[in-house]
Structure 1
Amino acid sequence: MHRLMKEESSYRASSLENASRDSSKEQLHMKLCSGSCHAEQILQTLNSYRQSGIFTDVVLLIEGQEFPCHRATLSANSTYFRAMFGSNLKEGHQEIINIQKISASTMSLLLDYMYGGNIIIQEDNVEDILELSDLLQISKLRDACVTFLEGQLHPCNCLGIMKFADSFSIASLTEKSKRFMLECFVEVSCHEEFLEMGVKELVEYLSSEQLVVPKEEVVFEAVMRWVRHDINARKGALKDLLEHVRLPLLDPTYFLEKVEMDGLIQDSKECIPLLHEARKYYILGNEVSSLRSRPRRFMEMSEVIIIIGGCDKKGLLKLPFTDLYHPKSRQWTALSSVPGYTKSEFAACTLKNDVYISG
């Protein structure tokens, strides 16, 4: 009888062990599927506790408004609060913590994010949210604000966004804003932000090799528009700005009618050497060696190399081909062949922007 009971007990234990093994896969599967839901449930419960003041152990005082919170939740979200509550700082042991220079409405949005993981970022709150997330060192939210601002770049606001990015040392956003400004200079120069920039900033952009303009007339008009926005304060900077305008590349007729006849330029003796340089270029062409006589990198004009004629490897067969090589694009373009190439040799020279062959 005793032996029978012992065998039955062993059988039950074995069956229970087998049942546990069989259900282990199902339990593991349930954990994987319910993990995020479980975390969300916990956050929802904590948020309801916060709103009801249950188990809260600290109060944030902002603009006279009190926000009861849980130290653990704040610390889990923010490096700033984690350092505060985990150290011997006076604020870490206070029941009420007064935080200055931030808005209560923005803090309310961030607390909703901390307790719920959701926040609506839009044009009218992105700067405040970024500023506060930067202060509280909530990196994920800060990065989301940066991404939002990158998507909002426009000719009317890129300079303002760049200044904002500079103030928070956001290098990626600063660089993208600057590149956007240089690539969309024509449109940017027509907006109010452009007219409000400082002279040093403007000189930096005008001298950049990344400036994209279809023709130099656009640059000249932008400079004159900037100066005339506050003539009395800015006319003294005219010469420094025009040094970065490539006057020799202006159309000669435009130069005579718009530049030489401009009253502000005529009144500035400092600008006279720049006008002389442009006139000299119109007469002598490439003989004038100056950075201002070189086309900008992204202009419709560019420096090229032209190969004219030549012969085969043995020097017996003369070639009629004329080819153009574009160094920046690394492309070859076939031009018109040389007429009468078999009858005579020839010399080549350039004047202004033309190539002459004689012989």
Structure 2
Amino acid sequence: MACRADAELKPESFKFTVLSEQINQLEEDDSALHMKEPDVIPDTTLRVEGEDFYVNRQQLALQSPYFRALFFGCGIESTKKRIEIKGVGLQHFRVLMEYSRTSNLALDRENVLGIFETADFLQLEQARLLCCKFLERELHLSNCLGMMAYAWRLGCTQLYKAARQVVLTHFSAIAAEEDFLSLSKEAIADLLASDDLAIHKDDFALEATLRWVSFDPKREEHFLELIELVRPESLSLPFITELLTKMKSSDPRAKLIYMLNEHFPASWSVGRSLKRTRARETLFVLGGPHDQEQQALYQFHPLSGRWQSCAPLRRKNLTQYSVAAVGNG
């Protein structure tokens, strides 16, 4: 896709919430993850952006596969006493070298992302975990989508799960945000498929899917696949009625609604055990304005997965069908 959904979410775009306390060290986590090493004698010089760092090969090799391969691998660097490290920033490298020596990692909102990426590059796993824990404390509705994508890119499972849980818990609000449109198809599918998706009705799931797909015409090929994950038993009557009335309107989503009406997903036909809501055998939908003398009635048949138009009903007869409809309508 050529739209924003393909663009990587840059760390600079995250909106971090202000904490009431300045977290410079994660002492309780550090003590569990990283035992302080005794003072050792430097035997190698690492050079980054013109600055020299005097380090002990064995000490760094024990902390990082990157340095283990650098110092004790088959490369030419293993025979050198002065090695230039490229691809890292001086400021963040300096903090990590201090951490490798003292086990104290100074983190704040300004440097945590840079240190995280540098630790990831240098394979300093314990420093990387501390960055993940710091970022978990910074999670908020305003940044959880970006943080989820960022954690996925860097392979930080713990941070990804924490950010994902915020999204699942506040899905209705987050799906309305602009950043939601930047999620990948796989991320959208993962959220829709979750039994932990905290929504009262799947109206929100279907609405979010329509919004995401209609953002880019190229996403239409994914529409039916994503709709498979929406649970029809949990759709409310007013919402479905509104969709059906827009099927032949100028609404930009009309094409998608028509596609859904013509190609109902197989999962909507067979029924399944759901945690989000309780399924019913038959779903009735009243179409058209409620002030009309007669209204169209649509019936959903799970076995065939189709909506069928029934004979128009007079208003005095509508009550009996409301009772037969799904309970959360």
TM over 0.5: yes
Residues 1:270 and 2:248 aligned together: no
Contact 1:78/1:136 (8 A) holds in 2 = yes
Contact 2:202/2:231 (8 A) holds in 1 = yes
Contact 2:144/2:167 (8 A) holds in 1 = yes
SS of corresponding position for 1:267: helix
1:8-27 superposed matches below 5 A:
none
Task: Give the structure 2 partner of residue 181 of structure 1.
Answer: 167
Alpha-carbon shift at residue 110 of structure 1 (Å): 1.1
Task: Give the structure 1 partner of residue 275 of structure 2.
Answer: 297
Task: Give the structure 2 partner of residue 8 of structure 1.
Answer: none
Residues of 1 paired with 2:188 and 2:244: CA distance?
20
1:186-335 superposed matches below 5 A:
186-230=172-216, 232-247=217-232, 249-261=234-246, 263-268=251-256, 269-273=258-262, 290-291=270-271, 297-298=275-276, 301-302=277-278
Alpha-carbon shift at residue 186 of structure 1 (Å): 1.7
Task: Give the structure 2 partner of residue 339 of structure 1.
Answer: none
Residues of 2 paired with 1:75 and 1:69: CA distance?
14
Pick closer, same or farther for the CA change 1:201–1:139 going to 2, 3 Å. Answer: closer
Pick closer, same or farther for the CA change 1:240–1:352 going to 2, 3 Å. Answer: same
Pick closer, same or farther for the CA change 1:167–1:95 going to 2, 3 Å. Answer: same
More helix by share: 1
Pick closer, same or farther for the CA change 1:260–1:290 going to 2, 3 Å. Answer: farther
Residue identity matched to 1:233: K
Alpha-carbon shift at residue 108 of structure 1 (Å): 1.4
SS of corresponding position for 1:118: coil
Gap runs ≥5 in structure 1: 1-39, 47-54, 278-287, 305-349, 355-359
Q: TM-score, normalised by structure 1?
A: 0.56
Alpha-carbon shift at residue 261 of structure 1 (Å): 0.9
SS of corresponding position for 2:83: strand
Percent identity over the alignment is 25
Pick closer, same or farther for the CA change 1:226–1:76 going to 2, 3 Å. Answer: closer
Residues of 1 paired with 2:326 and 2:211: CA distance?
30
Residue identity matched to 2:170: C
Contact 2:145/2:180 (8 A) holds in 1 = yes
Q: TM-score, normalised by structure 2?
A: 0.60
Give the structure, 1 or 2, with the largest relative contact order (CA under 8 Å, sep 6 or more). Answer: 2
Pick closer, same or farther for the CA change 1:271–1:60 going to 2, 3 Å. Answer: same
Residues of 2 paired with 1:83 and 1:234: CA distance?
43
Q: Matched residue pairs, number?
A: 245
Question: Could you list the per-position Cα deviations for residues 112-139 of structure 1 after superposition, in whole angstroms to 9, with x for gaps in the alignment?
Answer: 2233433322333323322332343433
Contact 1:59/1:95 (8 A) holds in 2 = yes
SS of corresponding position for 1:69: strand
Task: Give the structure 2 partner of residue 68 of structure 1.
Answer: 53
Contact 2:172/2:199 (8 A) holds in 1 = yes
Contact 1:260/1:275 (8 A) holds in 2 = no
Pick closer, same or farther for the CA change 1:79–1:265 going to 2, 3 Å. Answer: closer
Residue identity matched to 1:93: T
Pick closer, same or farther for the CA change 1:66–1:352 going to 2, 3 Å. Answer: same
Gap runs ≥5 in structure 2: 1-35, 281-322
Task: Give the structure 2 partner of residue 94 of structure 1.
Answer: 80
Alpha-carbon shift at residue 100 of structure 1 (Å): 2.3
Residues of 2 paired with 1:196 and 1:111: CA distance?
36
Pick closer, same or farther for the CA change 1:352–1:70 going to 2, 3 Å. Answer: closer
SS of corresponding position for 2:275: coil
Residues of 2 paired with 1:202 and 1:276: CA distance?
17
Residues 1:167 and 2:153 aligned together: yes
Contact 2:145/2:179 (8 A) holds in 1 = yes
Contact 2:233/2:278 (8 A) holds in 1 = no
Output the aligned Cα RMSD: 3.8
2:135 to 134, 138, 149: 149
Question: Could you list the per-position Cα deviations for residues 291-311 of structure 1 after superposition, in whole angstroms to 9, with x for gaps in the alignment?
Answer: 3xx79523xx4369xxxxxxx
Pick closer, same or farther for the CA change 1:295–1:58 going to 2, 3 Å. Answer: same
Contact 2:44/2:82 (8 A) holds in 1 = yes
Question: Could you list the per-position Cα deviations for residues 20-79 of structure 1 after superposition, in whole angstroms to 9, with x for gaps in the alignment?
Answer: xxxxxxxxxxxxxxxxxxxx9x86xx8xxxxxxxx96533233x3222313356456545
Residues 1:59 and 2:26 aligned together: no
Residue identity matched to 1:266: A
Pick closer, same or farther for the CA change 1:143–1:265 going to 2, 3 Å. Answer: closer
Task: Give the structure 2 partner of residue 84 of structure 1.
Answer: 70
